[in-house]
């Protein structure tokens, strides 16, 4: 089993496509909201790719830095960090103007009952940011929650399916996309709407959630019957390479694994790997938050880790007592209430 340093290393290893792209990219890179679940290994990958491409380029992590584990990784990789509360436009005004932005800041859990906080974070902050950085390139982390629920037989929502978000969190995420679209139209911003569906990092993610239910003797709910998920190393790689496809015409990219994963199948296989009995709850529904990632695969190739290997690594991590973030995905939520 990997230890945590080896996991971080695996998630932040660039492949040759990224190193080649970084030779072609111009300008420094800033990651806004870098202190969360994905940002630290994404920033570390950017730093590795800069070093391996031989180009001089600043990689700047911007966040409030509330997670000490993230801070430890930034320090170990000697990544430049600028503390900033992005809800404060005066603090944004002090950030150096760079050409390349990976935009990861957002708010999801806690939305029910505090909806205005989510709107400030997901819709107002993008307006403050785009008025400061104006015509930069932006890879904007978004979510598959903005699509309608799709039937399992459909093959998942493609980028051509019009948004139809359910619940205030998902609607505010569409708001975030629209503000960046406005910046493309009016300030010359180059934008990719990076619609991510469930990264797997072992410390959190859908596979972790299912293992957690199994280990605690809880039943696995089947009402949302299927999902897509993707190895976080691939997410980091595709996010950084997407800087080169950012466009004033606003590119949309679904980012997830190519497998449509049955919850029953995944839980049964994880139960075997964990050596535990699996209990199920309810009947299988027909629809889920399902995305079609064909465009991403066409542009950037298949993810380097498939479902079976992710499940094996996830079970090893859980059995070995690997650190968990205690941040469930709530992928089983079907009413959009977070
Ligand atoms: N992880 C997934 O599987 C997944 C799936 C779909 C979509 N997404 C979206 O992709 C983005 C990145 O994912 P993630 O899992 O890394 O999200 P995350 O864990 O929520 O990280 C975002 C980070 O943004 C920072 N932030 C929040 N408010 C801020 C503020 N006012 N000023 C400065 N920084 C602030 C926070 O770090 P500090 O406390 O250090 O400020 C937070 O940890 C998010 O928008 C998420 O919703 C993620």
122 belongs to a structural domain:
yes
pLDDT > 90? residue 135: yes
What pLDDT does 293 receive?
98
Q: How far apart are the CA of 35 and the centre of ligand 1, in A?
A: 7
237 belongs to a structural domain:
yes
Q: Where are the beta strands (DSSP E) in the chain?
A: 29-32, 59-63, 80-83, 100-103, 137-143, 150-151, 190-196, 199-200, 220-221, 226-227, 230-231, 251-255, 261-262, 280-281, 287-288
Ligand 1 atom closest to 125 (CA): 31
The whole-angstrom separation of Cα 117 and Cα 186 is 26
Q: Which domain holds residue 186?
A: 4-201+229-259+290-298
106 contacts: CB under 8 Å, gap ≥ 6: 33, 121, 122, 141, 173, 176
What pLDDT does 126 receive?
98
The whole-angstrom separation of Cα 288 and Cα 155 is 11
pLDDT tens per residue across span 223-244 = 999 999 999 999 999 999 999 9
Domain CATH for 110: 3.40.50.720
59 belongs to a structural domain:
yes
279 belongs to a structural domain:
no
Pick the residue whose CA is nearest to atom 10 on ligand 1: 141
Region at 25 (left for phi over 0; alpha for psi -120 to 50; beta for the rest): beta
221 belongs to a structural domain:
no
* Counted domains in the chain: 1
pLDDT > 90? residue 24: yes
pLDDT tens per residue across span 165-205 = 999 999 999 999 999 999 999 999 999 999 999 999 999 99
Which of the listed residues 67, 106, 333 should we mutate to test ligand 1's pocket, taking the one with most ligand atoms within 8 A of CB? 106
Q: Which residues pair with 226 in a beta bridge?
A: 262
Backbone angles phi, psi at 302, to 5 degrees: -70, 150
252 belongs to a structural domain:
yes
Please tell me whether the overall predicted TM-score, pTM, comes out greater than 0.85 for this model.
Answer: yes
Name the burial class of residue 16, with classes exposed (0-12), middle (13-18) and buried (19+) by CB atoms within 10 angstroms of its CB.
exposed
Binned at pLDDT 50, 70 and 90, residue 285 comes out as very high
12 lines ligand 1 (CB under 6 A): no
Binned at pLDDT 50, 70 and 90, residue 336 comes out as confident
40 lines ligand 1 (CB under 6 A): no
182 belongs to a structural domain:
yes
Summarize the confidence of residues 285-294 as an average pLDDT: 95
pLDDT > 90? residue 334: no
Q: How far apart are the CA of 4 and the centre of ligand 1, in A?
A: 20
pLDDT tens per residue across span 105-114 = 999 988 889 9
pLDDT tens per residue across span 59-116 = 999 999 999 999 999 999 999 999 999 999 999 999 999 999 999 999 998 888 999 9
82 belongs to a structural domain:
yes
pLDDT tens per residue across span 202-220 = 999 999 999 999 999 999 9
What pLDDT does 112 receive?
85
Which of the listed residues 63, 172, 242, 256 should we mutate to test ligand 1's pocket, taking the one with most ligand atoms within 8 A of CB? 63
* pLDDT above 70 coverage of the chain, percent: 100
129 lines ligand 1 (CB under 6 A): no
Q: How far apart are the CA of 106 and the centre of ligand 1, in A?
A: 5
């Amino acid at each position: 089993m990997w230890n945590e340093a080896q996991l971080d290393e695996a998630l932040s290893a660039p492949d040759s496509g990224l190193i080649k792209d970084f030779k072609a990219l111009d300008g420094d890179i800033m990651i806004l909201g870098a202190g969360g679940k994905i940002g630290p290994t994404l920033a570390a990958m950017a730093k590795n790719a800069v070093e391996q491409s031989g180009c001089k380029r600043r990689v700047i992590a911007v966040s409030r830095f509330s997670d000490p584990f993230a801070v430890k990784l930034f320090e170990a990789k000697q990544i430049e960090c600028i503390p900033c509360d992005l809800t404060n436009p005066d603090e944004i005004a002090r950030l150096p103007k760079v050409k390349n932005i990976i935009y990861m800041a957002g708010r999801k859990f806690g939305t029910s009952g505090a909806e205005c906080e989510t709107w400030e974070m997901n819709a107002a902050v993008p307006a403050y940011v785009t008025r400061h950085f104006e015509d930069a390139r932006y890879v904007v982390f978004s979510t598959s929650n903005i699509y309608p629920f799709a039937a399992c037989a459909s093959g998942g929502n493609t980028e051509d399916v019009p948004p139809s978000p359910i619940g205030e969190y998902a609607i505010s995420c569409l708001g975030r996309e629209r503000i960046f679209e406005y910046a493309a139209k009016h300030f010359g911003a180059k934008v990719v709407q990076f619609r991510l569906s469930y990264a797997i990092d072992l410390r959190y993610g859908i596979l972790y959630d299912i293992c957690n239910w199994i280990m605690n003797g809880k039943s696995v709910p089947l009402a949302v019957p299927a999902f897509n998920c993707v190895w976080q190393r691939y997410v980091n790689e595709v996010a950084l390479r997407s800087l080169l496809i950012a466009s004033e015409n606003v590119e949309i990219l679904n980012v997830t694994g190519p497998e449509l994963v049955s919850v029953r199948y995944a839980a049964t296989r994880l139960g075997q790997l964990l050596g535990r009995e699996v209990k199920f709850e309810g009947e299988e529904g027909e629809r889920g938050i399902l995305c079609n990632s064909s465009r991403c695969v066409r542009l950037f190739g298949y993810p380097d880790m498939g479902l079976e290997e992710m499940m094996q690594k996830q079970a090893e991590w859980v059995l070995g007592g690997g650190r968990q973030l205690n941040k469930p995905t709530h992928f089983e939520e079907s009413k959009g209430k977070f």
